[in-house]
Amino acid sequence: MSGRLEDLRGPQVAETLGPDSVVVLPIGAIEQHGPHLPLSVDAVIAEEVASAVLAAVGDDVDLWLLPTLEVSKSDEHTWLPGTLSLSGDTLSRVLDDLARCVAATRARRLVFLNGHGGNSSLLSTACRDVRLAHGLLTFLVHPFVPPASGGPSTEEEFGFGIHGGLQETALFAYLRPDEVEMRLAVRNVPEWMADNRWIRFGGPVQFGWTTRDFGVDGHVGDPTGATVELGEQLFGEVVEALADQMREIALFEFPDAEPAGSTG
């Protein structure tokens, strides 16, 4: 079988999904990524990474992919036409609706595989909300932990390669080389924040921002050094790490715990 829920026939769902199944919802975005990348970046990365992880875990994990949720919470980018965004309330309701459907199967584990950093805080909250409402074991994983949430970024980008920068551009160039316009790639790093001790991406003081706050280019980072070779390396590292995470998720249990909420 493919490991994709939509490929099952109706009666097969009850027969195939069980308590050890891990159901993964890839979540991307359709949003501006500067002049050098298409709107589809986050959706493509989420879909391709999820597919590669499915292949990588093989028989180790009973992994099932849901269709990629391509539109999510991208309101930090809606100043530029073309971006599609759900409100936080709408996305929360969509996640709850999908979790309710997963809870109607025998599967007990639901993973949000998030390709868009702007979703991270909401998805952390959704993990607990879904746990309480539906009794599922819930998890949030990322191809890259967003720098704005404490993940790594390159020294040359001063930790500010958060959107359409070096790594994201390289990874997308590996996946879709014909869709990247490197001649339009420019450095857009908010160096005026580099000396801040507290107010910075990944720093202890959170702050509200939109990509428009960092100029009209739309991206934040330096994509100019991105190569397909770097993207291939990053993709391999991402898939290897996520496959290992899925193996651990498949075995995770709270000791002597009853489901936290209803299952209906």
The backbone region for 136, taken as left when phi is positive above 0, alpha when psi lies in -120 to 50, beta otherwise, is beta
Domain ranges, residue 42: 5-251
Check whether 124 has a pLDDT greater than 70: yes
Q: How confident is the model at residue 262 (pLDDT cuts 50, 70, 90)?
A: very low
Asked if residue 260 belongs to a domain, the reply is no
Q: What is the pTM of this model?
A: 0.94
Residues 130 and 147: their CA atoms lie apart, in Å, by 26
pLDDT digits (tens, 9 = 90+) for 149-170: 767 778 788 888 999 999 999 9
pLDDT digits (tens, 9 = 90+) for 102-121: 999 999 999 999 999 999 99
Residues 159 and 95: their CA atoms lie apart, in Å, by 30
Question: What average pLDDT score do residues 124-147 get?
Answer: 94
Asked if residue 139 belongs to a domain, the reply is yes
Asked if residue 222 belongs to a domain, the reply is yes
Check whether 208 has a pLDDT greater than 60: yes
Q: How confident is the model at residue 259 (pLDDT cuts 50, 70, 90)?
A: low
Taking the CB of residue 84, how many other CB atoms lie within 10 A of it? Answer: 14
Asked if residue 262 belongs to a domain, the reply is no
What pLDDT score was predicted for residue 144?
84
Question: What average pLDDT score do residues 33-43 get?
Answer: 98
Check whether 148 has a pLDDT greater than 50: yes
Number of domains present in the structure of the chain: 1
Question: What average pLDDT score do residues 251-263 get?
Answer: 71
Instruction: Look at strands 109-114 and 22-27 and give their pairing.
Output: parallel
Least confident range from 26-35, 115-124, 125-134, 141-150: namely 141-150
Check whether 213 has a pLDDT greater than 60: yes
Share of the chain above pLDDT 90, in %: 86
Asked if residue 70 belongs to a domain, the reply is yes
Average of per-residue pLDDT values in the chain: 94
CATH of the domain at 160: 3.40.50.10310
